[in-house]
């Protein structure tokens, strides 16, 4: 039997979504790798200069990650149908209807196709966005407090400097021009951001693994070309997907 003839292609992910996805994958993996080395820098015997270099590279890659994320957040308001927050966040009447149909299909052991994310995947993607945003916000604060990089670096420099004249002398891992009490105050302010950034790394790593498992399971159940759709933008279905236009 020629099964190919009964398959129909549907355009799902626009170009912007696909670029966002792969830039995000590459930048997050790179940030995780450099972050892991920073986390274990003591055990690895890395010098202060080495740490500054690692953190600087971490921050440069992070700028790409943050800009890409900001673009995606904006695209969620102005982009194509399945890139919009209304099609992603697990809220609203259409989500509830899809969830009911999805639960029924699970109980009956029948796979039901979705052009966009299925209801479970909406939760997954929402949690991923929450964690990516958390990492971006805490990371930008750390970039400012730790190595005085933009956008907040000059603000933190002026916080810890002995006087406005010594601000330009303030450098990472050096106490030249620094007021000790102000520096301690700034480090206390920074501490919860560092903790959330560190815990966020583990939570994000767990979510990435769950995301991959979800994609593999859905691909095996529904066989819609989920993975190749992130390259081509198109999924294939043998039956009309539940969220297709009439």
Q: Which long-range contacts (CB under 8 A, 24 or more apart) does 196-199 make?
A: 196/134, 196/138, 197/135, 197/138, 197/139, 197/142, 198/39
167 is a contact residue toward ligand HEM (CB under 6 A)? no
Residue 110 DSSP label = -
Q: Residue holding tokens 């055990």?
A: 43
What is the C-alpha separation between 144 and 156, in angstroms, rounded? Answer: 6
Q: Is the dihedral of CA 176, 179, 180, 186 positive or negative?
A: negative
In terms of CB distance, is 62 or 121 closer to ligand HEM? Answer: 62
Instruction: Kindly state whether residue 198 participates in binding ligand HEM, applying the rule CB under 6 A.
Output: yes
The residue within the footprint of ligand HEM, chosen from 12, 58, 114, 156 (CB under 6 A), is 58
Residue with smaller CB distance to ligand HEM, 118 or 145: 145
Q: Pick the closer one to ligand HEM by CB: 39 or 220.
A: 39
Q: Is the dihedral of CA 26, 28, 34, 37 positive or negative?
A: negative
Q: How far apart are CA 187 and CA 213, in angstroms?
A: 39
Candidates 8-16, 137-145, 163-171, 181-189; binding stretch for ligand HEM (CB under 6 A): 137-145
Residue 62 engages ligand HEM in binding (rule: CB under 6 A): yes
Instruction: Give the count of residues interacting with ligand HEM (CB under 6 A).
Output: 26
The residue (of 55 and 122) whose beta carbon lies closer to ligand HEM is 55
Q: Which residues bind ligand HEM (CB under 6 A)?
A: 28, 31-32, 35-36, 38-39, 55, 58-59, 62, 65-66, 132, 135-136, 139-140, 142-143, 146, 194, 197-198, 201, 204
């Amino acid at each position: 039997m020629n099964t190919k003839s009964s398959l129909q292609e549907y355009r799902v992910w626009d170009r912007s979504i696909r670029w966002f996805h792969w830039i995000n994958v590459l930048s997050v993996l790179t940030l995780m790798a450099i972050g892991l080395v920073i986390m274990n820098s003591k055990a690895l015997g890395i010098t202060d200069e080495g740490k500054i270099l690692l953190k600087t590279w971490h921050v440069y890659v992070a700028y790409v990650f943050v800009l890409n994320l900001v673009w995606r957040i904006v695209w969620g308001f102005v982009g194509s149908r399945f890139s919009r927050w209304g099609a992603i966040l697990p809220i609203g009447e259409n989500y509830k209807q899809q969830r009911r149909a999805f639960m029924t299909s699970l109980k009956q052991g029948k796979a039901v196709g979705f052009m966009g994310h299925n209801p479970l995947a909406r939760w997954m993607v929402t949690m991923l966005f929450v964690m990516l945003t958390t990492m971006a916000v805490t990371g930008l604060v750390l970039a400012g407090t730790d190595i005085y990089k933009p956008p907040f670096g000059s603000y933190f420099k002026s916080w810890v400097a002995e006087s406005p004249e010594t601000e330009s002398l303030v450098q990472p891992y050096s106490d030249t021009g620094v007021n000790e009490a102000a520096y301690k105050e700034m480090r206390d302010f920074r501490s919860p951001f560092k903790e959330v950034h560190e815990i966020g790394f583990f939570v994000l790593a767990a979510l990435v693994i769950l995301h991959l498992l979800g994609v593999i399971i859905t691909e095996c159940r529904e066989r819609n070309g989920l993975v190749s759709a992130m390259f081509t933008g198109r999924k294939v279905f043998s039956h009309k997907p539940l969220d297709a236009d009439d």
